[in-house]
Structure 1
Amino acid sequence: MAMRVALHSVLKEGREAGYEEVHATVPADLLEALGRAGITNWRIWRSGRHLFHLVDCEDFTAAMTALDRDPVNHRWQEFIGDYVDHFETTDGAPAGPSAEMALGQVWELRAQAAAAGEEG
C-alpha cells in the first residue's frame, strides 16, 4: 500500500534563492537513487526559510534506510547541506535518524467526510 509522508525542513538564513536554483533540475543520478529507494514522487513548497515536503512511496522507513546507504544520496546531502539547516519532527525538534522526520497527520477532509458518510 502506497503512503504519503509530510516533512518540514528549515533553510539556512539567506539560502532561499540558492536552494530554489539548485532544485530547478536535480542530478539524474539522484532521481535514480530516489526511484531505487521506492520513492515515486517528492514535492517541495517554500514559505520563507521553511520547506514543506510531500513524499509518495511504498514504505518511508525502508526508503530512508535505502537512501542512507546510497553514495549518490550521501553526495547530494553533503551538497544540499550548504542550504538546509535541519529537518524538524512533529514536536518541532530537529530530526535525528531520517526515519523520524515524518510529521504526524492532524486532519484530513476526505477521511472526515467518508466517516460522516458511513454514519449517515
Structure 2
Amino acid sequence: MTRLALHSRLIPGTEEAYETEHARVWPELITVMHAAGIKDWSIWRSGRDLFHLVESDDYESAVAYLRDNSTDQRWQQHMSQFVEGFAENPEGVAGQSLRHVWTMSEQTD
C-alpha cells in the first residue's frame, strides 16, 4: 500500500460549503473508491488550501478506474463549484505536490 499527499485549492468564499459537502460524502462514491483500490482518504484545510492524504494499492490505477466511473464523474462535476484544482507536479501523478519526508510511526529506532 502507498500513501500519497495531494494539494488542492478552494475557490474563494466556498470554504464552508466545501466542508458541508464533506460532512457526509455520498456512500456510493465511497463504494466506488474502495473498488478502485483506495483504502482511505483524509482532507485537511488551511484557509483555501486543502491537503489530502490518500492510501491506496496503486493510485494511478485508481485514478484511471475512477476516470471512467459515472459516480465519480458526477462527484467531480459537483465539486468543481468549490475547487480551483490540484497542484501540478512535473514528475507525474504519483507524488503530486507534496513529497513525503517523515512519519513518526515508521521510524523503528
Of residues 88, 93, 97 in structure 2, which corresponds to 1:103?
97
Please tell me the root mean square deviation across aligned C-alpha atoms, in Å: 2.3
Which gives a bigger RCO, structure 1 or 2 (Cα 8 Å, sep 6+)?
2
Tell me how far apart the structure 1 counterparts of residues 51 and 61 of structure 2 sit (CA, whole Å): 21
Deviations 1:46-93 (A, max 9, x none): 0000000000000010011101111100000000000001100347xx
- Which secondary structure does the structure 1 equivalent of 2:64 belong to? helix
Unaligned ranges ≥5, structure 1: 92-96
Deviation at 1:110, TM superposition (A): 4.8
Residues 16 and 48 in structure 1, CA contact (< 8 A), matched pair in contact too:
yes
The structure having more radius of gyration, on CA atoms, is 1
Decide which structure has greater helix share: 1
Normalised to the residue count of structure 2, the TM-score between the two structures is 0.87
Identity %: 34
* Counterpart residue identity of residue 16, structure 1: E
1:94 corresponding residue in structure 2:
none
Secondary structure in 2 matching 1:42: strand
Mapped partners of 2:85, 2:95: distance in 1: 10
Structure 2: unaligned runs, 5 residues or longer:
none
**Residue 66 of structure 1 corresponds to which residue in structure 2?**
65
